[in-house]
Structure 1
Amino acid sequence: MSDFYCEEVLSGNTKVIKVLETENILAYYHTKPAYEEHIVVIPKKHISSLITL
């Protein structure tokens, strides 16, 4: 299964407009927003499932 966030966004293959970046997270404007302000926040470490947290 492909992971868009790791393989595309974090690797830099898909360019995004960053809102905030820290050592642990990246927040950016959604590439295809459903709302006027649509911000995505992702961890910089791959997490396969919320259950694993």
Structure 2
Amino acid sequence: MNIHIIQHVSFENPGQIMNWVQENNHTVKLIKVFNGEPFPKAEEVSFLFDK
């Protein structure tokens, strides 16, 4: 599963979500919008967290 996590500010982190992702061998991408990183295309995402 391709999981994307939107990170709004630098002091946030994925927390327990990251543990679940790693335990289940999913692919994860942090999107650091505070750094101007673009959002992924819809077809690239299986699951999206807005942290």
Q: Give the TM-score taking structure 2 as reference length.
A: 0.27
Say which one has the larger Rg. 1
Higher relative contact order (CA 8 A, sep 6+): 2
Q: Which has the higher helix share?
A: 2
Q: Structure 1 length normalisation: TM-score?
A: 0.26
More strand by share: 2
